[in-house]
Amino acid sequence: MKKNKISKNWIIKQHRDPFFKQSKIQGYRSRSAFKLIEMNKKFKFLKKETYLLDLGCSPGGWSQVATKIISKGEILSVDIKSMDNIHNVNFLKGDLLDNEICEKISNYFEKKFDVVISDIAANTTGNRNLDSFRTGELCLVALNLAKKVLNKDGVFLSKVFMGSVFNEINKKARECFKNVIKYKPQSSKKESKELYIYCKGFSKV
């Protein structure tokens, strides 16, 4: 009974959410599309010729946004979950903890990526500290992969939660990027610890 009540409350909140409503009106698969739209408007990292790697892409909201901008580059979207086809998006299903999948990503195109974006979040447990820690660990996995596949001066953008792992992520990012900025989009829920780390100017360490 309690679970049904929580589910009902979640549905009510979703339908009151203006970004959820707009995602349905504009045909985006997730409200998170508006986070990427806002961050790209601010930082201008997606361009026509961009070679983009979208990690944790399912259901595909960020990939949809990218296809509206990238026309002469390439998009590779990766997730452990399945994703319905999106025109001009290459999809690879697999686990980033699998070395074979990482190798496939590294060799997917003849050139390296200009931008790596990650909206990966661990499955929630209800324990905020634990959820923050697990999502932080996934961010570190994405960052380590980005260091292998990015072009010089490339960009890395990732979801992260304020918590015990954040300082480690920030430190490691600053070791190989010229600029590291914390940013919370307007479409990110106010009560959430979620924010994004924008890293620009990649250089091998």
* Residues that are catalytic: 159
Please state, as a whole number, how many other Cβ atoms lie within 10 Å of the Cβ of residue 60.
23
The stretches of the chain forming alpha helices (DSSP H) are 2-16, 18-26, 33-43, 61-67, 99-106, 128-149, 166-176
CA angle 152, 156, 161 (to 5 degrees): 155
Q: What angle (nearest 5°) sits at the alpha carbon of residue 148, between those of residues 145 and 153?
A: 110
Q: How many residues does the chain have?
A: 205
Is-cis flag, bond preceding 59, omega within 30? yes
* Rounded Cα–Cα distance for residues 163 and 96 (Å): 22
> In this structure, are residues 151 and 171 in contact, taking their beta carbons and an 8 Å threshold?
no
Alpha helix (H) residue ranges in 44-186: 61-67, 99-106, 128-149, 166-176
- Tokens 């932080």 correspond to 136
Centre a 10 Å sphere on the Cβ of residue 157 and count the other Cβ atoms it contains: 26
